[in-house]
């Protein structure tokens, strides 16, 4: 059997196993919205740990991370930095969110914020923002899965076909099992991709350079030392500014737990203790990124000039002398990284579109069964939209993620003020969010307007957001004490 075919068979077996694991949990979960969206609020520490970890480490990690290490060197270290810091807010917000979810029946982020600020239109705006930032993130996952299958089959399976098959399976188990199917597949995928990452991160430097230490020594001796010096390089090969590096870390840290699919896992936690323990343990998942970056560094001298840089991992696998069975398992691990994020985001974005958008525009029109059906319809719709962009766009995976972070970070001031500032009201929240989004989009489209070259556009959006939020809240009537008390006392 040819190498590419054996590799493809191994990936096919992995996809079949994932499909079964995603469908089985749907047999025992309740048919209610709380069961489909929040797993009946029964996830323990082990499942939560892998749901949070595997949901973040996606195609971005297995393809974008090595791609940045390969093309931009030390710039890739920003990924480790924000992952360690970004989870901290969930230690404080998470247990409060869970208790309020039990008390009021919340299962989405916007439900909590719309109730706290007493604004139905805020819920609709948050649903639009959430879906808008989810689409590029989902696009990233689909592109990643397609690139893997296209590369290992040497073009026999196109990126479009690879993405369609992989995410067809994701859509099936998300439709059937909801968040519990997402949780159990994430546990399986998370364990699998951690083993694969460490194997590759140690094997490739040894195979190409004689080890990790010799690899870095050869990089220094070759005149490529700038690749190992922070803050690294830009996509054009010029030095990345410290303003660009630090603002990328800052905006990613602020937006990290504001991603609705992560924030919503607070509702699924079995207890506040399980959630806090998960957050404390979470930074250990960052160790997984060390071998991921070593993969990218191992290709700099051995295979210069590979385009796109995001394909460096599957490219290396096809160039070195390694068993096709191992290549298949490795590529399955990379698919696991893509699917473990994509399924969570697909489920969350559809739930948000219905719970926070459709049901607020047409209140009282949907019963529990109709709402669940509507969410399933949106799962299919959002998958198709993301697939379209995955096939037609050629933006780098990390660039897609960074652009999305600028938008999602605008939610942070609203969440913080909901719990810690009693004077914050709906007028201020709405005005601040709209302003932050507008300013973020302006600087995203016109980076030449930035007074600090390289600074992430999301920082300007946050500054404008907070300023308008505070001023408008102080100039308008305070919220009703009974509305605020459960949040401040939580």
Give a yes or no: residue 68 inside a domain. Answer: yes
> Is the distance from CB of 408 to CB of 128 less than 8 angstroms?
no
Give a yes or no: residue 490 inside a domain. Answer: no
Region label for 388, one of left (φ > 0), alpha (ψ between -120 and 50) or beta (otherwise): alpha
Confidence of residue 347 (pLDDT cuts 50, 70, 90): confident
Maximum separation of any 2 CA atoms in the chain, in Å = 73
Query: Count of domains in the chain?
Result: 1
CATH of the domain at 200: 1.20.1730.10
User: 428: Cβ–Cβ under 8 A, 6 or more apart, which residues?
Assistant: 468, 469, 470, 471, 472, 473, 474, 476
- CA atoms of 203 and 198, how far apart (whole Å): 8
> Is the distance from CB of 383 to CB of 171 less than 8 angstroms?
yes
Give a yes or no: residue 92 inside a domain. Answer: yes
Q: Is the pLDDT of residue 27 over 80?
A: no
Q: Which domain holds residue 67?
A: 3-404
- CA atoms of 11 and 409, how far apart (whole Å): 35
Give a yes or no: residue 200 inside a domain. Answer: yes
Give a yes or no: residue 413 inside a domain. Answer: no
> In 153-235, where does DSSP find H-type helix?
159-177, 179-209, 212-221
Residues 446-467, mean pLDDT to the nearest whole number: 92
**Pair of tokens at residue 18:** 């994932």
Rounded (10°) CA dihedral 387, 132, 255, 70: 30
Q: Which pairs with CB-CB distance under 8 Å and at least 24 residues apart come from 370-373?
A: 371/33, 372/31, 372/33, 372/36
List for the chain the helix, strand, coil content (%; round to 5). Answer: 80, 0, 20
Q: Is the pLDDT of residue 58 over 80?
A: no
- CA atoms of 382 and 367, how far apart (whole Å): 22
Phi and psi dihedrals of 239, rounded to 5?
-60, 135
- CA atoms of 185 and 420, how far apart (whole Å): 36
Give a yes or no: residue 26 inside a domain. Answer: yes
Q: Please tell me the predicted confidence (pLDDT) of residue 146.
A: 87
289-322 in b/e form (b: 16+ CB < 10 A) is bebbbbbbbbbbbbeeebeebbbbbbbbbeeeeb
Q: Is the pLDDT of residue 244 over 60?
A: yes
- CA atoms of 286 and 178, how far apart (whole Å): 27
Q: Is the pLDDT of residue 386 over 70?
A: yes
> Is the distance from CB of 394 to CB of 147 less than 8 angstroms?
no
**Distance (Å) of CA 69 to CA 65, 145, 198:** 6, 20, 16
Q: Is the pLDDT of residue 413 over 70?
A: yes
> In 412-452, where does DSSP find H-type helix?
412-420, 426-445
Residues in the chain: 490
Give a yes or no: residue 77 inside a domain. Answer: yes
Q: Please tell me the predicted confidence (pLDDT) of residue 411.
A: 95
> In 39-119, where does DSSP find H-type helix?
45-56, 59, 65-72, 77-86, 88-104, 109-117
Confidence of residue 40 (pLDDT cuts 50, 70, 90): low
Confidence of residue 444 (pLDDT cuts 50, 70, 90): confident
> Is the distance from CB of 62 to CB of 289 less than 8 angstroms?
no
Rounded (10°) CA dihedral 189, 194, 199, 200: 80
Share of the chain above pLDDT 90, in %: 31
**Distance (Å) of CA 288 to CA 150, 293, 295, 463:** 25, 9, 12, 33
User: 187: Cβ–Cβ under 8 A, 6 or more apart, which residues?
Assistant: 46, 47, 50, 51, 54
Best CA proximity match to 118, nearest among 484, 480, 426, 488: 426
Q: What is the pLDDT of residues 117-171, one digit of tens each?
A: 999 899 999 988 888 878 877 887 888 888 888 877 888 888 899 889 988 888 8
Q: Is the pLDDT of residue 37 over 60?
A: no
**Distance (Å) of CA 210 to CA 66, 202, 300, 305, 353:** 19, 10, 14, 22, 51
Q: Is the pLDDT of residue 174 over 90?
A: no
**Pair of tokens at residue 337:** 């990284």
**β-sheet bridge partners, residue 239:** 233
Q: Is the pLDDT of residue 51 over 80?
A: no
Greatest mean pLDDT among 351-360, 410-419, 445-454: 410-419
- CA atoms of 207 and 139, how far apart (whole Å): 33
Give a yes or no: residue 199 inside a domain. Answer: yes
**Pair of tokens at residue 154:** 């040497």
């Amino acid at each position: 059997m040819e190498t590419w075919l054996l590799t493809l068979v191994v990936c096919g077996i992995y996809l079949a196993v994932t499909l079964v694991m995603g469908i089985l949990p749907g047999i025992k979960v309740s048919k209610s919205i709380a069961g489909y969206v929040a797993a009946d609020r029964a996830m323990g520490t082990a499942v939560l740990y892998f749901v949070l970890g595997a949901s973040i480490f996606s195609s971005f990690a297995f393809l974008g991370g090595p791609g940045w290490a390969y093309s931009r060197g030390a710039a890739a270290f920003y990924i480790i930095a924000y992952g360690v810091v970004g989870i901290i807010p969930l230690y404080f917000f998470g247990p409060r969110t869970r208790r309020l979810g039990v008390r009021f029946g919340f299962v989405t982020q916007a439900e909590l914020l719309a109730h706290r600020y007493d604004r139905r239109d805020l819920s609709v705006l948050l649903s639009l923002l959430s879906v808008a930032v989810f689409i590029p993130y989902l696009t990233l996952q689909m592109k990643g899965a397609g690139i893997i299958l296209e590369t290992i089959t040497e073009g026999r399976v196109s990126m479009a076909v690879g993405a369609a098959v992989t995410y067809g399976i994701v859509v099936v188990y998300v439709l059937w099992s909801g968040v519990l199917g997402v949780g159990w597949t994430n546990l399986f995928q998370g364990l699998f991709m951690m083993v694969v990452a460490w194997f590759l991160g140690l094997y490739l430097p040894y195979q190409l350079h004689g080890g990790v230490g010799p690899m870095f020594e050869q990089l220094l001796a070759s005149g490529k030392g700038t690749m190992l010096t922070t803050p690294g390089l830009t996509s054009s090969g010029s030095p990345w500014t410290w303003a660009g590096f630090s603002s990328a870390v800052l905006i990613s840290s602020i937006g990290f737990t504001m991603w609705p699919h992560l924030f919503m896992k607070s509702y699924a936690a079995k207890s506040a203790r399980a959630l806090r323990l998960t957050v404390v343990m979470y930074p250990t998942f960052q160790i997984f990124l060390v071998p991921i970056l070593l993969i990218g560094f191992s290709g700099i001298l051995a295979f210069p000039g590979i385009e796109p840089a995001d394909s460096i991992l599957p490219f290396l696998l096809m160039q070195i002398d390694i068993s096709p069975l191992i290549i298949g398992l490795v590529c399955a691990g990379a698919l696991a990284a893509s699917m473990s994020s994509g399924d969570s985001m697909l489920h969350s974005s559809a739930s948000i579109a219905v719970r926070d958008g459709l049901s607020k525009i047409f209140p009282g029109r949907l019963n529990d069964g109709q709402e669940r059906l509507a969410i399933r319809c949106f799962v299919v719709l959002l998958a198709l939209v993301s697939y379209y962009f995955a096939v037609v766009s050629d933006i780098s995976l990390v660039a897609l993620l960074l652009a999305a972070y600028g938008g999602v970070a605008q939610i942070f001031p609203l969440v913080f003020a909901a719990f810690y500032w009693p004077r914050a009201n709906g007028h201020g929240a709405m005005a601040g969010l709209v302003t932050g989004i507008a300013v973020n989009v302006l600087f995203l489209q016109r980076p030449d307007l930035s007074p600090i070259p390289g600074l992430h556009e999301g920082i300007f959006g946050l500054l404008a957001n907070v300023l308008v939020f505070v001023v408008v809240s102080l100039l308008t009537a305070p919220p009703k004490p009974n509305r605020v008390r459960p949040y401040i006392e939580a």
